[in-house]
Amino acid sequence: MHDEMLQTLKELCALDGVSGFEDEVRSYIRKKAEPYAQEIREDINGNLMVFRRGSSNNGKTRMLCAHMDEVGVMVTAITDEGYLKFDFVGGVDRRVALGRRIFLGEARVSGVIGLKAIHLVTEEERKKVPKLTELYIDIGASGREEAERLVSLGEYGAFESVGEEFGEGFFKAKALDDRIGCAVLLRLIEEDPAADTWFVFTVQEEVGTRGAFGAAFALRPDYALTVEATTAADMPGLEPHKQVCAPGKGAVLVAMDGGTIYDRRLFEALREHAENKKIPWQMKQFISGGTDAKAIQRSRAGVRTAGIAAAVRYIHSPACVFSIKDLDALTALARGFIEITGGTEV
C-alpha cells in the first residue's frame, strides 16, 4: 500500500491549492474518486462530497473529512519598482518564508520572497524576525507596468516544493497538511467500506474551517471523523510534554485541541480498536491547533466527532516532514472508524 498511496500523496502535494483556490486539487480528487462513487456533489463553496456505498447500512450517516487547501500568500499591492507586497493566507511563520520561491496564480509566475539586504540591516534589526510589511515578492519585473502584465492584485501564491523521500523512511513536501488526509480518504474510497460513507474534501480550513460547516450542514452526519496532519515538535532541547507528538510512532488520536473537545465515546472506541488491531497510535501531549472538527461539531444540533492525524514536522512550511510508515496506521484507524460507526450504536 505504501507505494501506491505515496505516489498519490506526491501528486497531491505537487498541486497548488491555497485556501479559496482549491480547483486543481478538487479536479484531481474527483477524477480519482469517480470510478468508485455512487454520488458526487460539489457545493457553492467548493467542497467535494463523495458517497461510497458500503457493505452495510445501519441508518446512520457518517462523514470522513480532509481539507484540500494549503497555506500560501495573496498579492495586495504592486510597487512602482515592480515588487509585490503580500499577506499570508493561513498561518505561516514568517521565518520559514524568507528567500522562498513562490508560484503565483494559474500561470505559475515565478517569484522569490525577499527583504532588505543584510549589509543594510542594523544590529538591532538582525535580532528580530522581519515584519510582514518589510517583505516583498520579486518576480523580476522592471517596474509596475511590467509587473501588472504578469500578476493581478488578489492573485494567490503557493510555495515551491518537490515532494521526495529522504533518510530512513521520511517524506518531505509542501501541503502535507492536509494532503495526507486526502490521500487516506482516496484510499478508503477505492475499498469496499464496512458501511455507507460520505468522504468529504473541504475548502478553506486554513482560514477558519469555513468549508466544513456548509458540508456538514448539508449532509447532517450522525458521526464525523477528521483525518488531518498535526504539529510534531519532537525537537532537541524541548521539554517532553511540549513535543506534542512524533513522526513514526503511529496515528495521533486526538481527545482535545484548540478548537474541539472530541466525542469521548468515539475516542475510547478508536483507542480500543487500535489496541485490539495492534495499530500504532499516540496521543497529543500538548493542546494546540484546530481542525474542521470544530465547524462540523457545531453545524447543527451537535455532531459526534472524532479526530485522528499524522504527526508532521515543520507544518505550514514549504518543507513539511512526516514518517511514511504512519500512513498505514492512519488509514487503518480511519477504516476502523467506519467499522465502529457502521455497527452497533457506539
Any bridge partners for residue 309, and if so which? 228, 252
What sign results for the dihedral spanned by CA atoms 193, 46, 15, 95?
A: negative
81 labeled binding residue: no
pTM of the model: 0.93
What sign results for the dihedral spanned by CA atoms 4, 10, 13, 15?
A: negative
CATH code assigned at 238: 3.40.630.10
pLDDT for 50: 98
Is residue 225 in some structural domain?
yes
Same domain, 113 and 252: no
Any bridge partners for residue 42, and if so which? 48
206 labeled binding residue: yes
Same domain, 316 and 212: yes
Q: Please give the helix or strand (H or E) that residue 48 lies within, else none.
A: strand 48-52
Question: What spatial distance separates the first Cα and last Cα of the chain, rounded to whole Å?
Answer: 29
Q: Are 312 and 177 in contact (CB under 8 A)?
A: yes
Domain count of the chain?
2
Same domain, 108 and 182: no
Same domain, 294 and 187: yes
Q: d(Cα 192, Cα 280) in Å, to the nearest integer?
A: 23
Q: Is the pLDDT of residue 108 over 60?
A: yes
Across residues 208-220, what is the average pLDDT? 92
Across residues 93-117, what is the average pLDDT? 89
Last residue of a domain, one of 104, 136, 159: 159
Q: Is the pLDDT of residue 241 over 70?
A: no
Same domain, 65 and 123: no
273 labeled binding residue: no
Q: Are 220 and 61 in contact (CB under 8 A)?
A: yes
The model's confidence at residue 313, banded by pLDDT at 50, 70 and 90, is: very high
Is residue 285 in some structural domain?
yes
Q: d(Cα 60, Cα 51) in Å, to the nearest integer?
A: 14
Q: Are 191 and 206 in contact (CB under 8 A)?
A: no
pLDDT for 302: 79
Is residue 258 in some structural domain?
yes
pLDDT for 1: 53
239 labeled binding residue: no
Same domain, 149 and 183: no
Same domain, 123 and 39: no
Last residue of a domain, one of 159, 191, 217: 159
Q: d(Cα 323, Cα 168) in Å, to the nearest integer?
A: 9
Same domain, 150 and 179: no
**HEC profile for 230-248?**
EECCCCCCCCHHHCCCCCC
Same domain, 259 and 190: yes
Burial class (CB in 10 A: 0-12, 13-18, 19+), 325: middle
pLDDT for 336: 96
Q: Is the pLDDT of residue 127 over 80?
A: no
Contacts of 258 (CB under 8 A, 6+ apart): 287, 288, 289, 290
Q: d(Cα 74, Cα 196) in Å, to the nearest integer?
A: 39
Q: d(Cα 26, Cα 33) in Å, to the nearest integer?
A: 10
pLDDT for 121: 66
* Residue-wise pLDDT tens digits, 183-197: 999 999 999 899 999
Is residue 12 in some structural domain?
yes
For the chain, how are helix, strand and coil distributed in percent, rounded to 5? 30, 25, 40
Q: d(Cα 207, Cα 66) in Å, to the nearest integer?
A: 15
pLDDT for 78: 96
Same domain, 7 and 104: no
pLDDT for 234: 74
Last residue of a domain, one of 132, 159, 186: 159
Is residue 168 in some structural domain?
no
16 labeled binding residue: no
pLDDT for 218: 93
Please give the positions annotated as active site.
205
Same domain, 50 and 189: yes
How many beta carbons lie within 10 A of that of residue 176, not counting itself?
Answer: 29
Across residues 109-130, what is the average pLDDT? 78
Same domain, 77 and 144: yes
pLDDT for 240: 66
Domain residue limits at 14: 2-70+174-341
Contacts of 269 (CB under 8 A, 6+ apart): 340, 346
